[in-house]
């Protein structure tokens, strides 16, 4: 299962284009260049649509911050973008990526609150997977001194989404129960950690069985992702759960609503089930729209239930709620400083390894977040490896219960 996560494919060895930088030294010497390296999606489709190439160095406009990127977050959503499997996809070619961490290198006019050299994390409306990013001031946040760049790139989107869903859309309080799918993923682990900050929360999670040993301390009840989770939850809690967080969509919406206790909240925050293969799936966005069962408000009235949708990207980039997100980020950084939460990094990948990284998240091989490490050379390095001991093509399927996995057990205070 994890094979694709670490195997350098033949294709990758040739994906660095003629103008690409092949040596890490060259990368570092590019700081003063007029060009930068970036991952480019040449068209919607499979992994072969991804390239690392040089692009013109962006310069900050008024109100923007220019960031020398150290690490970028890779999300399931990036797969859907690659397939064009989103509403109103932008035009290609484009540079994917919505979040990064790095160092402030310059500021546009009328840009207060940051200084050159500040360590920051940022949301970007595409273009994050590059050596340099410019993004509006409102989407940039200083990071704590003891937070590494990969941790910061793993922190922003997953924790903000998890926090807003649990505490703003739903109303998580003492004694409640939460069901989260993909409990081993970035959002799943953020949800589990945030639940641990509230007394007596029961977390039900689904995840591939091979992840269970690694994440079992973060989740109260773990089910294999292929079992009938509705039956499993009901065996333990016949009256259901208070909050269902669903990133799968499709038939899981009806299942999730059915599992809710009275006054419970179902939140749809993704539709990863729409991605079934490497290329754009039969279940395209337009089709999924019609296949999701619609909900009658009177049924919600009779059953005392709540259904919500949550899209952090729309909130930030279409709906102008950056200030609400900033407030949430301040709360999250406070929780981080109190050591109550800590982002879980699955693995670090060079820009040139983006295909392998995407394949790993597609195969749900990750435990925690996949990070593109901009300064990393194209050799796989697992999160807790102190040296480059991993080898290309290394099999990881036997990891269950071994010490390497234990090292990756999420930090739960």
Binding site for a second copy (CB under 8 A): 87, 164, 168-169, 171, 249, 253, 262-263, 265, 268-269, 271, 288-289, 292-311, 314-315, 319, 321, 324
Instruction: List Cα–Cα distances, 366 to 363, 378, 397, in angstroms.
Output: 8, 18, 12
In the complex, the smallest distance separating the C-beta of residue 394 from a second copy, rounded to whole angstroms, is 38
CB 409 within 8 A of CB 215: yes
Q: Name the CA radius of gyration of the chain, rounded.
A: 21
CB of 325 to a second copy, least distance (A): 10
Reference 181, options 253, 104, 278; nearest CA is 253
Our CB check for a second copy shows the closer of 72 and 194 to be: 194
Least distance (Å) from a second copy to the CB of residue 188?
18
Q: Min. distance of Cβ 21 from a second copy in angstroms?
A: 39
Structure tokens that stand for 355 in this block: 């295909």
Of 199 and 297, which CB lies nearer to a second copy in the complex structure? Answer: 297
Q: How far is CA 76 from CA 35, 59, 86, 266, 366, in A?
A: 28, 29, 12, 20, 11
Instruction: Please provide residue 174's backbone torsions phi and psi, each rounded to the nearest 5 degrees.
Output: -45, 135
| Closest approach of a second copy to the CB of residue 291, in Å | 10
- Report whether 220 contacts 192 (CB < 8 A): no
Q: Smallest distance, Å, CB 263 to a second copy?
A: 6
Provide the minimum distance between the beta carbon of 310 and a second copy in the complex, in angstroms, as a whole number. 6
> Cβ closer to a second copy: 306 or 412?
306
Nearer to a second copy, 13 or 251 (CB): 251
Contact 413, 336 (CB under 8 A): no
Q: CA 146, 153, 16 angle in degrees (round to 5)?
A: 125
> What does the alpha-carbon distance between residue 375 and residue 69 come to, in Å, rounded to a whole number?
9
Least distance between a second copy and beta carbon 192 (Å):
22
Q: Which residues contact 295 (CB under 8 A, 6 or more apart)?
A: 257, 307
User: Cα(76)–Cα(206) distance, rounded to whole angstroms?
Assistant: 16
Q: For residues 309 and 393, which CB has a smaller minimum distance to a second copy in the complex?
A: 309
Find the shortest distance in angstroms from Cβ 81 to a second copy.
15
User: Whose Cβ is closer to a second copy: residue 293's or residue 407's?
Assistant: 293
Bridge partners (DSSP) listed for residue 69: 102
Alpha helices by DSSP H, 36-170? 76-82, 149-163
CB 62 within 8 A of CB 41: no
Q: For residues 315 and 412, which CB has a smaller minimum distance to a second copy in the complex?
A: 315
Residue 190 vs residues 81, 112, 184, 293: alpha-carbon distances, Å:
23, 31, 9, 28
The smaller minimum CB distance to a second copy, of residues 26 and 304, is found at: 304
Q: Choose among 144, 137, 175: nearest CA to 159.
A: 144
CB nearer to a second copy: pick between 168 and 394:
168
Tell me how far, at minimum, the Cβ of 127 lies from a second copy, in Å.
22
User: What span, in angstroms and rounded, lies between the C-alpha atoms of 164 and 171?
Assistant: 10
In terms of CB distance, is 1 or 292 closer to a second copy?
292
């Amino acid at each position: 299962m994890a094979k694709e996560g670490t195997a350098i494919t033949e294709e990758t060895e040739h994906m660095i284009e003629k103008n690409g930088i092949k040596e890490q030294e060259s990368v570092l010497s590019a700081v003063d260049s007029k060009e930068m390296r970036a991952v480019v999606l040449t068209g919607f489709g499979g992994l072969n649509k991804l390239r690392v190439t040089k692009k013109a160095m962006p310069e900050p406009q008024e109100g923007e911050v220019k960031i020398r990127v150290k690490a970028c977050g890779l999300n399931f959503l990036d797969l859907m973008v690659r397939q064009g499997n989103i509403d109103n996809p932008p035009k290609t070619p484009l540079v994917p990526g919505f979040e990064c961490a790095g160092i402030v290198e310059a500021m546009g006019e009328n840009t207060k609150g940051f200084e050159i050299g500040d360590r920051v994390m940022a949301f970007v409306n595409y273009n994050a997977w590059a050596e340099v990013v410019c993004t509006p001031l409102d989407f940039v946040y200083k990071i704590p001194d003891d937070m590494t760049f990969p941790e910061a790139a793993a922190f922003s989107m997953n924790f903000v989404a998890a926090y807003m869903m649990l505490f703003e859309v739903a109303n998580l309080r003492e004694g409640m129960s939460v069901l989260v799918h993909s409990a081993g993923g970035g959002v799943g682990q953020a949800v589990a950690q945030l639940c641990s900050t509230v007394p007596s929360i029961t977390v039900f999670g689904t995840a591939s069985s091979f992840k269970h040993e690694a994440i079992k301390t973060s989740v109260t009840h773990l089910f294999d992702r292929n079992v009938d989770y509705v039956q499993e939850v009901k065996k333990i809690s016949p009256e259901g759960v208070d909050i269902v967080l669903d990133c799968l969509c499709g038939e899981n919406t009806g299942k999730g609503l059915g599992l809710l206790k009275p006054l419970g909240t179902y939140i749809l925050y993704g539709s990863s089930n729409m991605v079934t293969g490497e290329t754009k799936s039969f279940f395209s966005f337009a089709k999924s729209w019609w296949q999701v069962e619609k909900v009658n408000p009177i049924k919600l009235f009779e059953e005392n239930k709540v259904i919500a949708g949550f899209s952090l990207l729309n909130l930030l980039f279409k709906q102008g709620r950056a200030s609400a997100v900033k407030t949430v980020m301040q709360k999250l950084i406070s929780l981080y400083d109190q050591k109550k939460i800590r982002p879980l990094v699955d693995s670090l990948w060079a820009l040139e390894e983006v295909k392998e990284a995407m394949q790993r998240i597609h195969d749900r091989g990750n435990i925690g977040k996949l990070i593109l490490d901009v300064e990393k050379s194209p050799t796989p390095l697992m999160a807790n490896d102190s040296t480059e001991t991993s080898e290309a093509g290394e099999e990881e399927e036997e990891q269950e219960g071994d010490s390497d996995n234990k090292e990756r057990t999420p930090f739960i205070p």
